Copies of this chain bind each other. A is one copy, B any other.
Amino acid sequence: SSLLAENHSAAGVGVDQELISSVPSWNPTFVERNYTDAETAYCRSQPNPAASFAARWAGKEAVFKSLGVSSRGAGAAMREIEILPDESGVPQVKLHGNAKSSAASRNITKVHISLSHSDTVAIAFAQASV
């Protein structure tokens, strides 16, 4: 019973905010390095692509934090955190590579994410569950 309690506790949370103007989504090299092809296609299809890229960047940072991984910013493999909407428009997190194995080693089975942006600021919240 105490084992069950531990199993079902939240594993970690993450919050991040980014100025939309500080995420250089006009730079193809930056985009290619940090976003999957599906993410790039999705962001470019949105009414405000810069805001979508920035919200996703904040989301990736928030997911890293929720995993308890200390890698942040330019050094992190942001492409390994893929955030795409499901058929209802709810953003879903899919992990690849080191991010995936790091989550698996901590028994994390699900990361919930939510994104929001104003005209100038994007914020994201992530919750990792075991």
Contacts and interface: CB of A to CB of B under 8 A. Distances in A.
A103 interface: no
Q: Is the interface of A mostly helix, strand, loop or mixed?
A: strand
A54 B93 CA distance: 29
Interface string A1-44: 10011011110111111110000000000000000000000000
A113 B4 contact: no
Interface residues of A, number: 42
Contacts of A121: 17, 118, 121
A32 to B, nearest CB: 26
Given A10-B127, A65-B90, 4 more contacts: A12-B112, A12-B114, A13-B112, A68-B88
